[in-house]
Structure formats: C-alpha cells, structure tokens
Amino acid sequence: MSVERAIAVRLFINDKFNTTYGKSLFRKAIFNGTIELKDPKAKFLIDLYQYPKWEALAKNDTQMETIRELANGDFPADESLLFSWIAHYDPQTESLPLL
C-alpha cells in the first residue's frame, strides 16, 4: 500500500551568502528553502550549509547525537554535500522549533 502526499520543495540561492549582518557574523547558508506539505498542511524551513558550518549549528542533544553518528560512521568527506537542520514553521506563532 502506498500513500501519496503533495509536497512542494523550493530552494533559493542565498544572495546574501558570505555577507555580514553584524560584527563577525556572516550568512553561511548557500541555499535557503521551504518544504510544504498539503495534507496535513505543514511548512518547514531549511538553510543548506557545507558540513563544517552545519555541524557547528548543532544545539540540542538529538542534533549532537546525529553529529556523533556521522563522525563514527562511513561518512564521505565531500564538500559538495549540503546539510540542513529542519525547522517547523508555525504561521500562527511564527516560531521555528528545530526538529
């Protein structure tokens, strides 16, 4: 049995990549994007980074465990790979809790 869901993925080139927005603060995401589900309606925001910059953004125990699993696994060191922590966007509260 297969379940089909309408999903829209949009990626945008980050025109502000490597520009500053404060003292020593740089915009490091190469691409920005959204993932939208139709039923049930949900929206997720993604910023795509090269691995070292993405790894440095880990903030909670689950994310740190993901970093450890990648470090202990057979992970290719390829700079062309991009990574993102996915954040659920709640339009009512405009909050972005990381998943």
Q: How far is the CA of 13 from the CAs of 49, 55, 60, 63, 69, in angstroms?
A: 12, 21, 27, 25, 29
Among candidate residues 97, 87, 98, the one with its CA nearest the CA of residue 43: 87
Is the whole model's pTM more than 0.85, yes or no? no
What is the pLDDT, as a whole number, of residue 99?
A: 52
Question: Residues 11-59: pLDDT tens digits?
Answer: 999 888 888 877 766 788 999 999 999 888 889 999 999 998 999 999 8
User: Which amino acid, 48?
Assistant: L
C-alpha angle 79-49-23 in degrees, rounded to nearest 5 = 115
